[in-house]
């Protein structure tokens, strides 16, 4: 097996450092991607034998999960880049960057729920031997969504108003449990 720990070290060190980025938004995106990877693994391992009847539906689910992950993976770095620019900007430019940051978190939250619904649709076909990876993946999506909610709630202090999606995302969390 490859050694991944050293590849993550810089990110983890930066996340732990007393500097503005990366932060919670970036971590929520990373957690989303980890969760989706576990879901994809569990689905792929379950694509044999008697479960082959769900193959075509499952291929579609895998393609959609992969597309969501590809999109949100970009946000792992983009969230920090936007936040660094927010810290250096003022006036209208700062407001525009704050809105861009908020939109990134909203898109991540929507992706969490979308991936959850995709996973729920194939859950009955997941083999018992790989079910722990599947459920850890699903819980990762829930945790990422909670991180997005916390991020949006923190931003309401900046905007002076709550984000209109917070209530919806809290309903998603209840549905996911």
Please provide the DSSP assignment of 37-90 as one string: HHHHHHHHHT-SGGGGGGHHHHHHHHHHHHHHHHHHHHHHHHHHHHHHHHHH--
Q: What is the pLDDT of residue 52?
A: 47
- The answer to whether 75 touches 104, Cβ cutoff 8 Å, is yes
pLDDT, tens digit (0-9, with 9 covering 90-100), for 23-68: 999 999 999 999 999 999 999 998 765 544 455 578 889 999 999 9
49: left (phi over 0), alpha (psi -120 to 50) or beta: left
Q: Chain-centre distance of CA 76, in angstroms?
A: 9
CB half-sphere exposure, 86, CA atoms < 13 A: 19
| Whole-number Å distance between alpha carbons of 146 and 12 | 20
- The answer to whether 57 touches 121, Cβ cutoff 8 Å, is yes
Q: Which residues of the chain have pLDDT under 70?
A: 48-56, 159
The rounded radius of gyration (Å) of the Cα atoms in the chain is 18
Q: Say if pTM beats, i.e. exceeds, 0.85.
A: yes
End-to-end CA distance of the chain: 34
Q: What is the pLDDT of residue 55?
A: 55
| Whole-number Å distance between alpha carbons of 118 and 121 | 5
Domains and CATH numbers, the chain: 22-176 (1.20.120.680)
């Amino acid at each position: 097996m490859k050694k991944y720990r050293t590849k993550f070290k810089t990110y983890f060190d930066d996340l732990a450092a007393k500097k503005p980025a990366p932060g919670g938004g970036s971590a929520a995106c990373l957690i989303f991607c980890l969760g989706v990877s576990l879901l994809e693994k569990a689905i792929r391992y379950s694509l044999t034998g008697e479960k082959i009847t769900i193959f075509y539906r499952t291929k579609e689910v895998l393609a959609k999960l992969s597309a969501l992950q590809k999109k949100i993976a970009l946000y792992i770095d983009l969230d920090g880049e936007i936040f660094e620019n927010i810290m250096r900007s003022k006036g209208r430019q700062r407001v525009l960057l704050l809105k861009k940051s908020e939109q990134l978190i909203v898109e991540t939250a929507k992706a969490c729920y979308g991936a959850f619904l995709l996973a729920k649709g194939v859950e009955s076909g997941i083999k018992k031997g790989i079910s722990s990876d599947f459920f850890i993946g699903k819980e990762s999506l829930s945790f990422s969504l909670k991180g997005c909610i916390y991020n949006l709630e923190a931003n309401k202090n900046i905007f002076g108003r709550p984000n209109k999606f917070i209530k919806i995302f809290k309903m998603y969390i209840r549905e996911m449990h």
